[in-house]
Chains A and B, each alone.
Chain A
């Protein structure tokens, strides 16, 4: 099965890159844009007998390496079955 992990700065951690890109979009005329944040997407193929077991390990992977819980939050999804 395929999984996709999204990692973003936690609320309250300032993202200067997101802020700069947001300002650019506004300058280009997209005045309705607000609170743009840039994160990371990690795609992986995994082999688990069930979604539940996959999700349990995905949590562990995020906690131990793929996200830094001090500054980042994450979510993951199974893309197919």
Chain B
């Protein structure tokens, strides 16, 4: 199984993602540059890592969403390819239209960097199938613009389709209905503000559960 991790100018969690994917094993990991337009047919997973792509110019994720490689990623996602956006990657997925809603300034205007608990709402997805429903994961967050917003009809659609995978146990940033991570209708595109790749070592291994779910779904060798 091949996983691609995209580096945008200002990405700073790309190597952490590569490291954690290598740690769980089963993936051949390749780093991809945002200006390239590679054929993604041979990939099973594309990860948009955290960071401050393009210095957060204009809006977080806005410039990266228009990067040359994103046309390929959008096409890959529309053909059912698995795409994960973490933190800034989640912002890029919303800006590119692959996920609904938007991420804006935290309600308290602070950059928040701490461990939080998320509740796993739905285990019926490739990203959460190995996680007990309604259990909690301890994951780090580090963001200034993580308040997820969506209008009420959009929210109802998310609920009806089982797209809200993670909610905060204690809402740190003012997100609508405590939303921490959502997927698209077909569940192959997933974006979340917490950093699972930073919870794959001795401190917390809860991030592993997301990688292991996907690995199991894809039938990856361990």
Instruction: Determine if chain A interacts with chain B.
Output: yes
Instruction: Decide yes or no whether A59 CB sits under 8 A from chain B.
Output: no
Residue tally, chain B, CB below 8 Å to A: 19
Q: How far is the CB of B110 from chain A (nearest CB, A)?
A: 10
Question: Is A71 on the interface with B (CB-CB < 8 A)?
Answer: yes
Whole-angstrom distance between the alpha carbons of A13 and B176 in the complex? 11
Bound CA span A16–B151, Å: 18
Contact across chains for B59 and A16 when beta carbons are under 8 A apart: no
Whether B104 sits at the interface, judged by CB under 8 Å, is yes
Alpha-carbon separation in the docked complex, A16 to B146 (Å): 13
CA distance A20 to B179 in the complex (A): 24
Q: In whole angstroms, how far apart are the Cα atoms of A66 and B150 in the complex?
A: 19
Indicate if the CB atoms of B109 and A65 lie closer than 8 Å: no
Min Cβ gap B33→A in Å is 21
Given contacts A13-B104, A68-B102, A71-B149, A20 and B109 within 8 Å (CB-CB): yes
For A56-81 the 0/1 string (1 means CB < 8 A from B) is: 00000000011010110000000000
Residues of chain A lying within 8 A (CB to CB) of residue B174: 14, 16
Q: Is B66 positioned at the interface, with any CB of A under 8 Å from its CB?
A: yes
- Minimum CB–CB distance for B99 against chain A, Å: 11
Contact A68 B59 (CB under 8 A): yes
